[in-house]
Amino acid sequence: MHLYHTGEIWRQFPQLVPGIIVIEGIDSNLNSESKLSPWFQLAIDRLEQSSESQLPEIAAWRQAYSKMGLKPSKYRSAAEALLRRFRRQKNVPRLHPIVDLCNAASIAFALPVAVFDLDNIDQYIEICHANGTERYLSFSGEIETPPQGEIIFKDASNNAHARRWTFRQSKLSAVQSSTTQALIISEGMHSTASKDVQKLIENLSQELSSLGVFIRGQTFLSVRSPRFEFDNHWSQMF
């Protein structure tokens, strides 16, 4: 199995910094609650200084969405949407211990963090421009067809696992109680993304390990190393 961003994505967004973790041994009965508060506090401290849209991490994604021809006030990155909700409620809904931990990391670092159930992804994840034939399963159960040119997460069966890049994930590969292995990806666009994405991935890996989750692989991609190959036993960056 592998993950990669197409050359067209890298040409359009050369500042992109993706970080990836592949995990197994997931148990829906894990208790990650005690690990959330410190990250929530980091977000509270930052939001006391400025609104989420003014944070450099969010501002960079807003610029990327504008470049994609999308209105940033209508289509927000997952990180901005979470931060907006958190600012209003000082909390976020609990969904699954792994998702909850990733959401807390996303809020703390103001970076999108997506989690995909690997058992429901066919062969690979390709971050690419849609050709207009892919299928996307919404959480309401509807099948959508992303328009040609939209940036999606796609697999070998022509399933779109996320729409408008970091806007919304598909129900098809969402983490659920039966999930045992998953791929986590965080992506940054801002000037210090290399440092910040690395810190997020490393801290998140540590917290996952402390819960007894096995880190099968971890890496950072770039235009020179755009592809991540992994299977059930080993991982390597190419």
Res. 114 pLDDT band, cuts 50 70 90: very high
Res. 224 pLDDT band, cuts 50 70 90: very high
Q: Is the pLDDT of residue 238 over 80?
A: no
Residues 67-101 pLDDT 10s: 999 999 999 999 999 999 999 999 999 999 999 99
Which residues, other chains included, contact 34 with Cβ-Cβ below 8 Å and sequence gap of 6+?
Answer: none
Residues 214-223 have a mean pLDDT of 97
Q: Is the pLDDT of residue 60 over 70?
A: yes
> What's the one-letter identity of residue 159?
N
Alpha carbon separation from 1 to 85, 122, 199, 229 (Å, rounded):
34, 8, 25, 6
Residue 232 pLDDT = 45
Residues 143, 157: Cα–Cα separation, whole Å? 14
What's the pTM value of the predicted model, to 2 decimals? 0.95
Residues 41-53 pLDDT 10s: 999 999 999 999 9
Residues 103-112 pLDDT 10s: 999 999 999 9
- Domains in the chain (CATH in brackets) are 2-226 (3.50.40.10)
Q: Are 81 and 164 in contact (CB under 8 A)?
A: no
Residues 161-211 pLDDT 10s: 999 999 999 999 999 999 999 999 999 999 999 999 999 999 999 999 999
Residues 209-221 have a mean pLDDT of 97
∠227-58-107 over CA atoms, to 5°?
A: 85
Which residues, other chains included, contact 235 with Cβ-Cβ below 8 Å and sequence gap of 6+?
Answer: 22, 216, 217, 218, 219, 228, 229
Residue 235 pLDDT = 38
Residue 9 pLDDT = 98
Residues 226-231 have a mean pLDDT of 92
Q: What is the chain's mean pLDDT, rounded? A: 95
Residues 126-134 have a mean pLDDT of 98
Residue 231 pLDDT = 78
